[in-house]
Structure 1
Amino acid sequence: KGSEGKCFSAGDDLNEGDEYPEGEDTTQKILSLPRNKPIIAAVNSWCLGEGFIYLMLLTDIRVAGSGARFGLPEIAYAMAGASGSSRLSLHIPRVWANWIALTGEKITADQALQYQLINEVVPDDEVFERALEIANMIASHPLIAIQTEMECLKKCPEMTSEEAITLTRELYDRQLRIYHQEPDAKSGIDHIKGK
């Protein structure tokens, strides 16, 4: 959610200079942070530049208000590639990634939904509430199941089919062991059986 509800992210401050700070890339630091719970974006108003890139890289579910606008204006400022637009085609169909990165035009929330950038469009004044509803829906499931799915969703796309099958079996077995070790834990199988 944007600060004070004004906008999700208007992008970088172009007055901060034209050089990256020395040392490790901030993006890599952020991406390497371990996380086993989903991040839900509540996008209102503008979502541009770096904010747009981080939206794709760091969020798992995205809800936008009908008035939201998305884009990569960097090309108009001779800053092409500075925001990692090359990653765009990993998240949305390549033809739309090309359009967004090369034209610099902003797209509407409905277009973002069509391009599979976001999950849902809701009225502007319902964005945050809808994101909370989704968060509560997810939080109603057992934590170990959420963590297992998050690990699968993160790792499996970069694996071969065989590696992914092996990982999912290992994670499922780990999940069952945890269910049997914790007295208050209830597996989905027990739930179905009515135990």
Structure 2
Amino acid sequence: MPIDIEIAEGVATITINRPERMNAMDADAYAALSAAWVQVRDDTAIRAAVITGAGDRAFTTGADIKSFLTDPADLSDFWMTQREQLLNRGLEVFKPIIAAINGYCLGGGMTLLLATDIRIAAEHASFGLSEVKRGVIPGNGGTQRVLAQLPYAVAMEVLLTGDRFDAATAARWGLVNQVVPMDRLLDTAREYATRIAANAPLAVQAAKELALRSRDMDLVSGLRLEQTMNRLLQFSEDAREGPAAFAEKRTPNFLGR
């Protein structure tokens, strides 16, 4: 399978499994990845997800150019905007996504990274939006998210030169949370996911949704929506379980309802 998904203790681990192609994705891989994101979104047993690539050479280098050059899409596909939606193309997944960057994170790999919430990079990982070197532009949100996540001058350097940069630089720019040895990469990413999965899942999803929507709302509207969401959550079982567990000095058992 081009995409593997494993679920354990509330955490889904999604692996792009085409190491022989630097985990570049053809049409089948994109379709399978889309299905994996839908599963993460819809399965209440999943509270957080980790996305990584197979092997130790690449997270993903994005689209498998050779496969798309030999099998170009019909022009009619341009208007199929909701078909096989991807995380970085607009699919709304409010469960937290942690990226474990195990090597090359280039082109579509970078646009996927920009759609995740927490990022852990192996020491040898490298990054880049290299599309301008190929006569095209970053798709699936590459041009739309980079300015929101990096300082203007840095974002423009990344976007317009197409040059690669290393994991230490990514950390200095705030693009990744941690840089760790390769043998600690997945464990570190899963530690984040496990800690998040232990929290109240409705509150976690609400917090992520509010933070994302704040980018498109004025402050007054955002504060009002925040107030509304908090009021709604007060009627959940988890909102009663949290204070009760604190008072009883025990670990809360959040059920997501």
Q: In structure 2, do the counterparts of structure 1 residues 133 and 151 end up closer, same or farther at CA, with 3 Å as the change threshold?
A: same
Pairs aligned (count)? 190
Percent identity, aligned pairs only, is 27
The 1-side partners of 2:153 and 2:108 are apart by: 20
Question: Which structure carries more strand by proportion?
Answer: 2
- Measured on the aligned residues, the alpha-carbon RMSD in Å equals 2.5
**What amino acid sits opposite 1:132 in the alignment?**
R
Cα distance between partner residues in 1 of 2:103 and 2:83: 23
SS at match of 1:133: helix
Higher helix share: 1
The aligned residue for residue 59 of structure 2 is 8
TM-superposed deviation, 1:164:
0.8
The 5-angstrom pairing of residues 123-138 of structure 1 reads: 123-138=181-196
Give the whole-Å Cα distance in 2 for the aligned partners of 1:62 and 1:90: 16
Q: Say which structure, 1 or 2, has more relative contact order (CA 8 Å, 6+ apart).
A: 1
- Which segment drifts farther, 38-47 or 135-144? 135-144
Task: State the Cα distance separating 1:85 from its structure 2 match.
Answer: 3.6
Match of 2:127 in 1: 70
Alpha-carbon separation, structure 2, partners of 1:29 and 1:178: 30
Runs of 5+ in structure 1 lacking a partner? none
Aligned to 2:172: 114
Residue 127 and residue 149 in structure 1: after superposition, are their counterparts in 2 closer, same or farther (change >3 A)?
A: same
**Residue 86 (structure 1) aligned with residue 143 (structure 2):** yes
Inter-CA distance 28–53: structure 2 relative to 1 (3 Å threshold): farther
Q: Residues 27 and 106 (structure 1 numbering): CA distance in 2 closer, same or farther, change over 3 Å?
A: farther
On the 8 A contact 1:52/1:71 being kept in 2, the answer is: yes
Q: Distance in 1 between matches of 2:189 and 2:208?
A: 18
Residues 111, 139 of structure 2: 8 Å contact kept = no
User: Any stretches of 5+ residues in structure 2 without a counterpart?
Assistant: 1-51, 250-257
**Residues 123-166 of structure 1: CA distance to partner in whole angstroms, max 9, x if unpaired?**
12211110000011111111122122122122122111111111
| Residue 147 in structure 1 maps to residue 199 in structure 2 | no
* Cα distance change on mapping 1:115 and 1:27 into 2, 3 Å: farther
- Look up the equivalent residue of 2:184 and give its one-letter code: E
| Whole-angstrom CA distance in 2 between matches of 1:152 and 1:83 | 22
Q: C-alpha offsets along residues 95-115 of structure 1, whole Å, 9 cap, x if unaligned?
A: 111111122211111111111
TM-score (norm 2): 0.66
Inter-CA distance 34–79: structure 2 relative to 1 (3 Å threshold): closer
**Cα pair distance change 1:139/1:81, threshold 3 Å:** closer
CA contact (8 A) 2:129 2:138 kept: no
Tell me the residue number matched to 2:80: 24
How far apart are the structure 2 equivalents of 1:33 and 1:82?
A: 15
